Structures are given as C-alpha cells and as structure tokens.
Structure 1
Amino acid sequence: MRRLQVILWQLITVLLFGFAAKVSAEQPSLNMTQGVTGISGQVYDLHMLIFYICCAIAVVVFGVMFYSMYHHRKSKGAVAANFHESTRVEIIWTVIPIVILVLMAIPATRTLVAMEDTSQSDLTVKITGSQWKWHYSYFGENIEFYSLLATSQKEIDGIEDKGAHYLLEVDNPLVLPINRKVRFLMTSDDVIHSWWVPDFAVKKDTVPGFINEAWTRIDKPGIYRGQCAELCGRAHGFMPIVVQAMEESEFDAWLVAKKAEIEKAKQEAAESLTASLSKEELMSIGEKIYVDRCAVCHQASGAGIPGAFPAITGSKVVTGDISGHIGVIVNGRPGTAMQSFANQLTDKEIAAVATYQRNGLGNNTGDLIQASDVNAYKASKEGQ
C-alpha cells in the first residue's frame, strides 16, 4: 500500500506541475517557453494539449491497474481468470489508441503546416552559417553583414568575470521589425549549422548547397537570443544568435541609417587604397581583427593546435612570399576550415591582419602590407 501511495502522489505532482506551467510564467525553465510570436504560442499550446492528454491517459491506465491490483488481490481470495483471447477486447484496445492519435494529429498537423507557410512575407532575410559566424542579407535592401561573437577573450579565458550574456552576445545583431512577416532563407558555406531562436519557435538547419525556409512574425520589441544548435566544429559554442526586434518605424529608420553606414564604409575602403598607414596603425588594427577572427583556430598566441589548425608563429606562409600570404587570407584553403575573407574584411583590414601576423605572434619579418597591395593582388587574379 505504501508503494501505491507513493505512485499516486507522483501522478498528482505531475498533474499539478502541468497546471502550474500553464497558468504561471514565473519559472519558465520548468517548461517550454511561450515565445513572442503567434507560431511559438501555437507550439506551446500544442505541447500543453499533448501533455494533458498524456496525463489523462496515465490517470485512466494507472487507475484501472491500481483498482485491479487492490480489489483482486490474493489476500481477498481472488482467483485469476483463465482465458486465451477476446475479440472484443482486442478491438477496443486497438480502436481507442487510434482515435486518440487522430485527435492528437489534427492540431499537430495544423501547427506544422502553419510553421512551414512562408508565403506572403513582408521581408526576406538570407541567413548563411559558416565556421563560426552568421551572415545576414536583407533582400531588396542592399544590406548585408556578418554577426560574430562579442564576448571578450579575457572572459572566455577566465581572466575577467563572465558577463550576464556570456557567449550570447554579438557585434552585429539581426535587426527585424515587429508585426511584419519575415521569411528566412537558410544555407551554409561549409558544414551543417542550425539557426535556433527559442522565443520564435524557429530552429532550422543550414545545409551547404541547399536552401531551407522558415518564418516569424514578432509580437513585441526586445532582444532575443539563440545559438547554433548543430555540432559544427571546434567553436560550435561560440556561434550565438542575437535578434533585435524594433517597432516598424524604428526599423525603417534603422534601414536608412544602415545603408548610409555601408556607403560610408565603402567610401573609406576606397580612400584606404591611396593611404599609407604606419606600422603602429597596422599592428593595432591587425591585432583586433586577429583576436576576433583568427584566434579561435590559430590561438591568441599564434601557436595553433597541432594536427588541427596550423601555427602562425614561424609559419612558412606568414614568413614567406607576401603575395602567397595575402592569397591565403583572401581565398582561404578549400577543404579546410580556413575560409575566404575576401567578402568579410576590407582590403585595409586584410592588409592590417597580414602585417600583424608577419610582425607579431613571434614573427618579425619587418614587412608592411598596405590596402593597395591587397587590391593589386585581387586585380591580378581577376585578370587571369
């Protein structure tokens, strides 16, 4: 009897938990997030509906079982029936589960169909995953940028205290408007990644050579965070997602400001082709870029990881021919984690990081590389 009481109390606890999770949002960690979109609300409601159905089935099944155990126990002189089969029982316990499954499938199918309906969108954003960053491109707006982890290396190394959003902060968040349907086109440059934002109920794999679709319509402004949810390599845990949802008027103003920012960056890049920076300037710019973009593989010290990522210190590429060094940064190395930075960095930034690699991290070639050198390299390859 004691064991029976324990089991009954466990069932009651499960039911009470389900009710509390439905009416209270004070402890969201105990249940699925309700999110900030219509679809996330549908997913949450479906989750709770199936949960309650399972609870009801458990009550009926365990209730019949406990009733039978108690009223037909040996101490009361109960004698087990001896029968081989019953067509009626077979039909009952086959039909009832089928009916339950059909009743569960109807709302589940309705929700799944709604999740896949990307038609009539107001805005389309292409999301490209790569080791280990996200690239966002706004269709029809001429806006695109990379989003990288913004958590400092000192926090990662334990030198400084970890911030409130440790490993969940980026330099350029994806900015979206509320009350507009946003269509996502998702792909990858290298391996399979997965773009996941729980508050949107959006989790979709980005597969090289394929385009997957998803969508969202955000109900209220705010900052929403997610992560890559597919093990994609050494720095998988350093690939966060941050979405900033704005009022529609604020988003329209952001679009204008972002376009102006991109145009200004293009003008500065063009002007840098005739500029000649000092070694100190190049080293300062190059060090920051190296820490942000290169250290994750080659290490902050330049020592690399033997057997996985080559060292920068003493590297034949870095200390050798300048054109070959620039070529590796611009074109990457096919078949390896070394990707092309031609579209990720400006000529000035490529020149700076190359100069830093050749004159820092234990190297001392004395070479200074300017943006004009990088531009000349690109022009020579385009002419071939």
Structure 2
Amino acid sequence: MISFGMGGARRAVAVVAVFALLASGAAMAGAQPWQLNMPPGVTSISQRIHGVHMLALWICVFIGVIVYGAMIYAMFKFRKSRGAVAAKWSHNTMLEAIWTTIPILILIAMAWPATKLLIDMANVENSEMTIKVTGYQWKWRYEYVDYFGKATPVNFISTLDEQSNRVRQTGSGLDPHSVKEGNENVYLLNVDKPLVLPVGVKVRFVITADDVIHSWWVPELGWKQDAIPGIINDNWTRIDTAGTYRGQCAELCGRDHGFMPIVVKAIPKAEFEQWLATQQAASSASKTAQAAPAAALPATQG
C-alpha cells in the first residue's frame, strides 16, 4: 500500500496549486518564463480563444478526475487480494445511453462557442484600416493601404535588429543576454522597424509572400496566418491595450527562418495619427528627391 504522508500530501497540494495558477493565465497578458498555458492576449478575439481553451481544459480535467478517480478507487477497493470477485454481465442499456448522451452534450457545449468564435474571426467587415503584410526570406514588408478610407502610401521593410544580427553571427563572441530593451531580453525578438498600430481600431490584414511559405504570428493577437506566394489570406485585430507585442515567423521557410521576428507596437490613436502623418511626409519627400534628378536630365535627341 502506498503512503504519501503529511509532507507528501502538502507537496502534492502545492504542485496542484502552482499548475492551476499557471493554467489560469488570468494575470499574464504575454508569455512569461516557465509559463505552461497560452497567454490571454490583448484583443477580444485572443481573450475569447483563451476562454474556449480554458473551457475545454477544465472539462478535460473534470473528466480525467472522474475516470481516473473511479479507476484508482476500483483498483484498491476491489482488488483480488481483498477477495473481490469480478461481476459477470454483458451490458447495461441505461449506462450505455448515459455515457453516449453525456459526451454528445459535452461536445455541443464546446462546439457552440468555438464555432461562433471561428465565424467572428473570419469577419473582416467594417475594418477601419488595412495593412498588407508580405513575407520574404527573411524579413517582412508592411504596407499601410488605407486608414479610415483614406489611402496611406506608407510602406517599409522590417528585419532583425542590428544588435541581434551582430550577436548571432558564428564566432562573434558576444553574449545574447546583453541584447536588451529596458530589462527585457530581446535577442532575436527585436526588429529595426516595428509595425505601428493604433489602439481601439479594427485593422484588416491581407497577408501573402513573395518567395516561399511564411506564417505571420503574434501570440497576443490570438491568431496566426500563413503567407503563401500567389495567395492573399486575410485576418483582423483590434488591440485594446497599448504596448509592444512580439512574434515570429511560424512556418519553416529556409536557412534564416529563426531570424525574422515580428514586433507590433500599439499606441493611442492620436499618437498613431501623428506618427502616420510624419511617415507620409517623409515618404513624399523621398519620392520628390528621387524624381528631381530625373527631371533635370536633358531630353535625348531623336
């Protein structure tokens, strides 16, 4: 007979409590060291995904406790050494009806919110802003297509930041733990130009690739979307909380797959509009400067 003792029982309770805390994830918006559960995220969709996930998890935990509890109880209570004699019966119609009906009800309870969530995730209608994302080996291009119905000719390439790129080189001798932003280690997680988005605005993403299949993934947004050459996929988000959210390419896309991170910087709407105006002005000035030398060239004689 197995005996845990009082110390063992206390340790078991502590372990269960820790796992329950990690599983809840309620206090954590982003992934933390040793976190076992998915983050709730910073969008309504990501939080609903987390809710459906937790519903399924606790249903499975409940079923596991009932099934394994009954099994362990039967193993000890009705073991042969205590003189238990196995019952002889073929089936029980009522029990079979119960254990067929209950799983069906459980599946319906899980499928209803999940199906509604999938429908809402695919609904990009009434978007207030459109961003085109193009994956390359091994970087991302972001094009601000429109903002509240107005064209916004701003686009740029976002690639691994210079410090991480320098540290990652073979034989660099540099310490990856030295790559920090504030107190956060951002080695291989930072970029030279983040994707800047406004808080509280529904943003539609149209996602594709120019060479091979990539996958655009920021866990706190609650979804990832494949970027496939020749195909346009779309998705949407509305970020509720200002902050910096990091992700990575989630599709093995070649030699430097591990070196094409994603950084989304969400800022208040007014601040975003100022940033966007500055980017548009810089883009216009750059185009004017490029056009000036061409206009100054003399016409060729026929």
Give the TM-score band, short-chain normalised: 0.7 to 0.9
The alpha-carbon deviation at position 110 of structure 1 amounts to 2.1
Q: Does 2:25 align with 1:25?
A: no
Distance 1:274 1:175, change over 3 A: same
What CA distance in whole angstroms lies between the structure 1 residues aligned with 2:47 and 2:118? 13
User: What is aligned with 2:148?
Assistant: none
Q: TM-score, normalised by structure 1?
A: 0.66
What are the superposed Cα offsets for residues 93-133 of structure 1, whole Å, 9 maximum, x if unpaired?
22221111111111211222222221111101111111111
User: What is aligned with 1:228?
Assistant: 249
Three-state SS of the structure 2 residue aligned to 1:90 is: helix
User: What is aligned with 1:174?
Assistant: 195
User: What is aligned with 2:105?
Assistant: 99
User: What is aligned with 1:155?
Assistant: 167
**Counterpart of 1:67 in structure 2: which amino acid?**
Y
Distance 1:107 1:79, change over 3 A: same
Distance 1:175 1:222, change over 3 A: same
Q: Looking at secondary structure, tell me which structure has more strand per residue.
A: 2
Q: Which deviates the most, 87-96 or 214-223?
A: 87-96
What CA distance in whole angstroms lies between the structure 2 residues aligned with 1:3 and 1:273? 87
Structure 2 unaligned spans of 5+? 146-150, 181-185, 298-302
What are the superposed Cα offsets for residues 152-184 of structure 1, whole Å, 9 maximum, x if unpaired?
343112333330211122122111100000010
Give percent identity, aligned residues only. Answer: 47
Distance 1:24 1:144, change over 3 A: closer
What CA distance in whole angstroms lies between the structure 2 residues aligned with 1:188 and 1:109? 29
- Relative contact order (alpha carbons < 8 A, sep ≥ 6): 1 or 2 greater? 2
Q: Looking at secondary structure, tell me which structure has more helix per residue.
A: 1
Q: 1:145 aligns with which of 156, 181, 185?
A: 156
Q: Is the 8 A contact 1:151 1:169 kept in 2?
A: no
What CA distance in whole angstroms lies between the structure 2 residues aligned with 1:19 and 1:170? 32
Q: Is the 8 A contact 2:139 2:160 kept in 1?
A: yes
Q: Is the 8 A contact 1:176 1:245 kept in 2?
A: yes
The alpha-carbon deviation at position 210 of structure 1 amounts to 1.1
Q: Is the 8 A contact 1:39 1:200 kept in 2?
A: yes
What CA distance in whole angstroms lies between the structure 2 residues aligned with 1:72 and 1:12? 30
Three-state SS of the structure 2 residue aligned to 1:144 is: strand
User: What is aligned with 1:190?
Assistant: 211
User: What is aligned with 2:55?
Assistant: 49
What CA distance in whole angstroms lies between the structure 1 residues aligned with 2:191 and 2:128? 25
Q: Does 2:267 align with 1:246?
A: yes
User: What is aligned with 2:46?
Assistant: 40
Q: Is the 8 A contact 1:18 1:51 kept in 2?
A: no
Q: Is the 8 A contact 1:202 1:216 kept in 2?
A: no
Distance 1:15 1:106, change over 3 A: farther
What CA distance in whole angstroms lies between the structure 2 residues aligned with 1:134 and 1:97? 45
**Counterpart of 2:168 in structure 1: which amino acid?**
I
Q: TM-score, normalised by structure 2?
A: 0.82
User: What is aligned with 1:61?
Assistant: 67
